[in-house]
Amino acid sequence: MRHDTERGRFYLAMDYSEAIIAAGGVPVHITLSDDDDYLSEIAMRLDGVLLPGSASDVDPNLYAQEPDVKLGMVHPRRDSTDLKLLKFVEKRRLPLLAICYGMQVWNVARKGTLVQDVASVWRGAIKHQQEGVREHRSHNIKLATDSRLYDVVNRSLKTSGVKDVLAVNSHHHQGVSEVGENLRAVAWAGDGLVEAIEETRAGRWGIGVQWHPEVDWCNDEVSRELFADFVNATRIFQGSVEREKDFNPVSV
């Protein structure tokens, strides 16, 4: 979930849950907590994890940088929860869909780094923090044609490997700089900034996107297919766990 420090509450936009439900999944909201036992118990009951966006920035201390003057709010509880949860994702090989801040913290967890403020640091930067209507697709991205994301996009549009450009919304002022371990960049904005990353190891499902596919998902075929592919990966994971139980019965 997200953390509203001023009002002392956790919250999450309903679009995330609705997109998961529409894809056939069952959403579970995870409280932001440093409690290892709680996060372990939750992680053992899940078939996949979605890391949503955040109103905060990842603490640059986590990737060995001093804070830039344009760094936004930092919410240590969100950083800590996500990083601990990602350890359980790694241990159980859970499918992972990481969105905006979620993609950034995933990259940091894999020892990658971030651009702390794209507008002031990235050479030739386009506008990545759009204003006005959230679902407006404000710029294009270029897709790697040998990526899972490319397959998702083309499957959703019922094309046959012909579309490698996608228009997306844009609501971020930070971005991926150095790509983390066992990850690779698979989409880029016109200014060269990374717009999507994927897990590289065989047998694992992991996609991170810098835009917000949950926004207006009901009117966007690509977004629906991305959530469907994620939920399908959780079904496959669930099936593999059930098979392991069949071969390794536990005595009570």
Classify residue 232: in a domain, yes or no. Answer: yes
Classify residue 47: in a domain, yes or no. Answer: yes
Tally of CB atoms within 10 A around 143: 21
CATH code where residue 70 lies: 3.40.50.880
pLDDT of residue 157: 78
pLDDT of residue 189: 98
Which residues constitute the domain of residue 143? Answer: 2-247
The CA-atom distances, in angstroms, between 28 and each of 17, 46, 47, 135 are: 8, 8, 11, 25
CA atoms of 167 and 93, how far apart (whole Å) = 31
Classify residue 84: in a domain, yes or no. Answer: yes
CA atoms of 30 and 252, how far apart (whole Å) = 29
DSSP one-letter string for 36-67? HHHHHHHHHT-S-EEE---SSB--GGGGT-PP
CA atoms of 182 and 126, how far apart (whole Å) = 28
Classify residue 252: in a domain, yes or no. Answer: no
Classify residue 15: in a domain, yes or no. Answer: yes
The CA-atom distances, in angstroms, between 91 and each of 25, 40, 181, 205 are: 22, 11, 15, 13
Number of folded domains that form the chain? 1
CA atoms of 24 and 37, how far apart (whole Å) = 28
Tally of CB atoms within 10 A around 166: 20
pTM, entire model: 0.94
Classify residue 119: in a domain, yes or no. Answer: yes
Classify residue 217: in a domain, yes or no. Answer: yes
Q: Average pLDDT of each block of 10 consecutive residues along the chain (252 residues)?
A: 90 97 97 94 96 97 98 96 97 97 98 97 96 94 96 81 87 98 98 98 97 95 96 95 57 34
pLDDT of residue 163: 83
Grouping H, G, I as helix, E, B as strand and the rest as coil, residue 179 is coil
